[in-house]
């Protein structure tokens, strides 16, 4: 007989590191953002990889099954802007595994995220957390990390200045291109996967200091030499121009001060193959949120690539509802948003042959929804299961 998967709890043997075979039965599947849905489909995952998708899949004896009538299955969600900076991640190397797993569920995996990008944190904590996840000891998402973000000289943002002195001492503020290159090298040695630059640092409300172009260029070049993507926090026109001219790949936020952010600039960004993570929830109470949404929509219209991100971790309210609501208000379709969550980040991170679609040969990273996003823009919040490599890492009743 097949093993039947219980809906409420992970059964011992199904949620450990070795359990990577699973069949999801009778679901509606969106194989990719562009593809038509496949109804009454079975997805078979063996050894952590998808080996079959379709209506008449034969399930081998002994493979656990997840009955999923009424489910909507898409590729595992990415959140490309998070932070592991809260105090609860300190000393992640030695905290109880279940405590860490529960924190990850609350923050990320119960929202369907199977891959996340930490866009600045203390490397010791984040790399230790990632190591324990990859060992199978802690259930959680795949983590890419920037390590410590780089700031303009003597220009830390006002919102980090209350951090403990020992933390502030670890935040690089390079004065020269050589120091910037060395800071990136130090992050790489500590386990960083991407580079994060604060090309527009908000040192006080209404006061934004741009990173000197030579410093940003040296940091970006060093990251690119090691095959790393470079992210930037731009804040305004000056920070955006530094990001563009230094070779940054991804704006980690939409610019929030929009003077000078015009169509011509957006076209230049598209021509440079840059991407934007809107983080609209972060700006949702700003007086110019409608204009920020317009910038995001125009960038998409002009052919720019958008990726999903929430600034979760900096924002300690983990709800993703407002982000999806703002994206819908911006005029983005459910297929646009699904691409932001799946194929776009997989392409940007050069793993589109492994992730981003529900297809044979892809990793068994899936997000299972209760509601069809084609009919409800907030359906992306209705997550039943987050599945990584065939393992259920989070589930809701």
Q: List C-alpha distances in Å: 29 to 24, 104, 353.
A: 10, 26, 19
Q: List C-alpha distances in Å: 132 to 13, 77, 127, 237.
A: 18, 21, 9, 40
305-306 and 250-251: which strand pairing?
Answer: unpaired
> Nearest-CA neighbor of 81 among 275, 353, 225, 362?
275
Q: Are 65 and 4 in contact (CB under 8 A)?
A: yes
Distance CA 387, CA 48 (A): 10
Distance CA 30, CA 25 (A): 14
Q: Are 300 and 332 in contact (CB under 8 A)?
A: yes
Task: Output the pLDDT for position 168.
Answer: 84
- Cβ burial of 210 (10 Å; 0-12, 13-18, 19+) is buried
Tens of pLDDT along 56-104?
Answer: 999 999 999 999 999 999 999 999 999 999 999 999 999 999 999 999 9
Q: Are 62 and 372 in contact (CB under 8 A)?
A: no
Indicate where the chain has its CATH 2.30.40.10 domain(s): 22-75+356-395
- Cβ burial of 294 (10 Å; 0-12, 13-18, 19+) is middle
Task: Output the pLDDT for position 3.
Answer: 38
- DSSP of 31-70, one letter per residue? SSSSSPPEEEEEEEEETTEEEEEESSPPPPTT-EEEE-TT
Tens of pLDDT along 175-231?
Answer: 999 999 999 999 999 999 999 999 999 999 989 999 999 999 999 999 999 999 999
Q: Which two tokens stand for residue 349?
A: 């991170």
Tens of pLDDT along 146-179?
Answer: 999 999 999 999 998 888 787 888 899 999 999 9
Q: Are 378 and 321 in contact (CB under 8 A)?
A: yes
Task: Output the pLDDT for position 373.
Answer: 97
Which percentage of the chain shows pLDDT scores above 90?
91
pTM of the model: 0.94
Q: Which residues contact 148 (CB under 8 A, 6 or more apart)?
A: 120, 121, 122, 123, 170, 171, 172, 183, 186, 187
Q: Which residues contact 75 (CB under 8 A, 6 or more apart)?
A: 32, 341, 342, 343, 346, 355, 356, 357, 358, 362, 365, 366, 367
- Tell me the CATH number for domain 77-348: 3.20.20.140
Indicate where the chain has its CATH 3.20.20.140 domain(s): 77-348
> Nearest-CA neighbor of 359 among 78, 52, 47?
52
**What ranges in the chain are assigned the alpha helix state H?**
97-107, 123-134, 165-168, 177-190, 213-225, 237-246, 263-271, 280-283, 289-301, 321-329, 334-341, 343-348
Distance CA 293, CA 228 (A): 29
Q: Are 248 and 274 in contact (CB under 8 A)?
A: yes
CATH 3.40.1350.10 is right for the domain spanning 22-75+356-395: no
Tens of pLDDT along 263-279?
Answer: 999 999 999 999 999 99
* HSE value, Cβ hemisphere, 13 Å, CA-based, for 293: 19
Per-residue pLDDT at 13 exceeds 50:
no
Tens of pLDDT along 285-296?
Answer: 999 999 999 999
Token pair 């119960």 is found at 110
């Amino acid at each position: 007989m097949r093993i039947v998967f219980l809906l409420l709890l992970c059964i011992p043997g199904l949620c450990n590191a070795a359990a990577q075979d699973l069949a999801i039965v009778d679901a509606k599947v969106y194989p990719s953002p562009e593809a038509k849905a496949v109804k009454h489909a079975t997805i078979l995952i063996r050894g952590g990889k998808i080996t079959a998708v379709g209506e008449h899949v034969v399930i081998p004896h002994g493979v656990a099954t997840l009955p999923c009538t009424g489910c909507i299955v898409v590729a595992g969600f990415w959140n490309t802007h998070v932070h592991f900076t809260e105090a609860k991640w300190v000393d992640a190397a030695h905290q109880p595994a279940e405590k860490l797993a529960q924190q990850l569920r609350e923050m990320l995996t119960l929202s369907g995220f199977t891959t996340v990008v930490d866009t600045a944190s203390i490397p010791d904590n984040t790399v230790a957390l990632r190591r324990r996840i990859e060992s199978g000891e802690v259930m959680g998402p795949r983590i890419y990390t920037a390590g410590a973000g780089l700031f303009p000289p003597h220009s830390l943002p006002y919102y980090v200045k209350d951090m403990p002195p020992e933390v502030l001492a670890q935040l690089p503020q390079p004065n020269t291109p050589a120091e910037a290159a060395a800071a990136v090298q130090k992050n790489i040695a500590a386990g960083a996967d991407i580079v994060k630059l604060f090309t527009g640092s908000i040192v006080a409300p209404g006061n934004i200091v741009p990173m000197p172009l030579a410093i940003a260029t040296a940091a970006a070049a060093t990251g690119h030499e090691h095959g790393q993507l470079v992210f930037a926090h731009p804040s305004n026109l000056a920070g955006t121009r530094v990001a563009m001219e230094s070779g940054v790949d991804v704006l980690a936020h939409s610019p929030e001060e929009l003077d000078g952010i015009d169509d011509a600039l957006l076209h230049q960004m598209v021509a440079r193959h840059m991407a934007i993570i809107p983080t609209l929830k972060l700006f949702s109470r700003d007086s110019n949120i409608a204009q920020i949404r317009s910038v995001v929509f125009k960038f998409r219209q002009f052919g720019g690539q958008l990726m999903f991100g929430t600034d979760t971790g900096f924002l300690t309210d983990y709800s993703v509802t407002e982000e999806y609501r703002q994206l819908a208000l911006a005029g983005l379709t459910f297929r646009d948003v699904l691409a932001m969550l799946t194929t776009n980040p997989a392409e940007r991170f050069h793993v589109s042959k492994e992730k981003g679609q529900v297809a044979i040969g892809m990793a068994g990273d899936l997000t299972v929804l209760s509601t069809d996003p084609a009919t409800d823009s907030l359906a992306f919040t209705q997550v039943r299961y987050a599945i990584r490599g065939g393992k259920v890492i989070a589930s809701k009743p």
